[in-house]
A and B are shown apart, each in its own frame.
Chain A
């Protein structure tokens, strides 16, 4: 187990290193001379050389990388050249929005997928099962940028049940906040429901054929108890793992709904920064999101090895 975790940890270090190098290099791929941008095209070569030195751009690239990495470790990712806000601050203020979107959408996804799978897996290939399997297959074809506008058109513009845009911090007014977050959260849920339902359904179907289920049945246990305690529990591990991986897709989803619903999350900041060519912000957000994602994968793995020790043996 320790060996497995160590291997995964080394993998984490390597991946994080590669991510940092690549995001660092991004800015250096930019065409043009930064001193020309700052001083104008007509300044003297001597002045340029001084500025180059001041900015540390005369150093070898690996040295620049180390300086940058050191700063990043200390939470200094540079500042936005538009409003001189620090990149770290932009990320910290935007993060709760993304987190809330993801949490609400996952709660909905589990609340729909788990009961549905528990019901349909008991009688596979019956009408109910066929309908839900076909239906969730359709959900796979509904990425957030397709389904979100439709939800807005129907539930915000048409029926007026939810606001089309706007954001109130949770701390300010929880009720308003939730009311505003429901539509965007639902919009990024479709894929998750499909993934969890299909995974759990096929897991359950195979589990239900195991001897210990027959055993439990013959002991006279209630169906409810068999489904939750005996059948669902072993499958819940793969569900957890799937949820961990699914975060990657959800990140893309949050970007889309933040833009559409004008929510001040990281994705919104990122898209703004891209449009304004605010390179340090793009670089900083890319670095932080990618590293956070990788660490999350590691944590999921870690939790996994605790709840399901079989993993290590594979």
Chain B
């Protein structure tokens, strides 16, 4: 990550996200409890190889994905099957990661539990990307009153502390996978909007866009063929960071017992199960595996996002 090019500019994230002030610009990410991770381009001239860690991280994400998708196909025990002759066991040949206090197989629960994190994380960001990204593209390109209104609207939504809003809505609406995905999806719309808008805005005045317009290209064509391809790298990297943030919020909800209902396993409520009723002293494995898996997943997604950002060289005048 560290790189000499970083010396050149460190203010990019501010210009990208903010017409507020230095440092404040990172609002979006922080709302989702991620980071004030800088979106500054690191290497302009030298294209560093992505590196071993990148492939390792990608491998982990791919593994989690495949396991979640094929959980029913691969030979796993049922995540809710209770084997009373094998309670609180450590890792063994029969139960690779051990069993919990009800004799349920921890590997099966871990694998099935990943589904909730992945579905919520990626689906919510997909909602944000489609709605917020589209609005951002148009808003940044067109400008004018629409832009001002949408911009103000995004600030209002972002002013809420995310976790409180989500808890309140889930309480009154009911916690289900669909509801949580929709709520968090709506929460990511203003994030995506602001990032895509800033990027789109910066390209809207560029020579190649003006040239396209001069040649008589329609607005639709300009947005789709000239601006969108340039904005995609920003979208991808920022989406990844946001996915990590959404997974954290869902995990927090699940830990608090406010996400998807039991007995459906999710990493958040698995960690919770591993900490309640003295399980930490009797069988720390219950908590440890999902905690480790969650750490690895978040780390991997963040790392992939970070490396792609360097690769795509997201800096330009834009950002």
Contacts and interface: CB of A to CB of B under 8 A. Distances in A.
Contacts, number: 221
Most A-side CB within 10 Å, residue of B11, B163, B252: B163
A238 B21 CA distance: 8
Contacts of A152: 275, 280
B287 A125 contact: no
Interface stretch (A71-79, A173-181, A242-250): A242-250
A58 interface: no
Contacts of B4: 124-125
B36 A143 contact: no
B294 interface: yes
Nearest to A258: B256
A205 B6 contact: yes
B171 A274 contact: yes
B274 interface: yes
Nearest to B294: A146
Contact of B168 (A26, A146, A149): A26
A290 B252 contact: no
B6 A26 contact: no
B1 A157 contact: no
A279 B34 contact: no
A162 interface: no
Contacts of A290: 160-161, 164-165
B218 interface: no
Contacts of A246: 30
User: By DSSP majority rule, is chain B's interface helix, strand, loop, or mixed?
Assistant: helix
Interface in B34-73: 34-38, 40
Most B-side CB within 10 Å, residue of A252, A259, A274, A311: A252
Contacts of A289: 161, 164
Interface in A98-144: 124-125, 129-130, 133-134, 137-138, 140-144
Contacts of B160: 19, 290, 293
A206 B161 contact: no
B126 interface: no
B295 A242 contact: no
A314 B19 contact: yes
Interface string A210-238: 00000000000000000000000000011
Contacts of A310: 21
B155 A141 contact: no
Interface size class of A (residues with CB under 8 A): 35 or more
B27 A245 contact: yes
Nearest to B286: A149
A241 B24 contact: yes
B302 A205 contact: no
Contacts of B291: 146-147, 149-150
A283 interface: yes
B84 interface: no
B171 to A, nearest CB: 5
Contact of B271 (A146, A195, A242): A146
Nearest to B284: A153
A65 interface: no
Interface string A9-22: 00100110011000
Given A19-B160, A248-B30, A202 B40 contact: yes
Contacts of A27: 172
A271 B173 CA distance: 15
A271 B19 CA distance: 36
A185 interface: no
Given A15-B159, A242-B23, A245-B30, A141 B256 contact: no
Given A245-B36, A282-B172, A283-B168, 18 more contacts: A11-B152, A125-B4, A140-B299, A143-B248, A145-B251, A149-B275, A199-B26, A199-B38, A241-B21, A248-B33, A255-B167, A256-B255, A274-B258, A285-B164, A294-B159, A311-B21, A311-B22, A314-B20
7 contacts: A140-B37, A150-B288, A152-B280, A202-B10, A206-B11, A238-B24, A308-B21
Interface of B: 1-4, 6-11, 19-24, 26-27, 30-31, 33-38, 40, 152, 155-156, 159-165, 167-173, 244, 248-249, 251-252, 255-258, 268, 271-272, 274-275, 280-281, 284, 287-288, 291, 294-299, 302-303, 306
- Cβ-closest 6 pairs across A and B: A238-B23, A141-B298, A249-B33, A141-B299, A252-B163, A145-B255
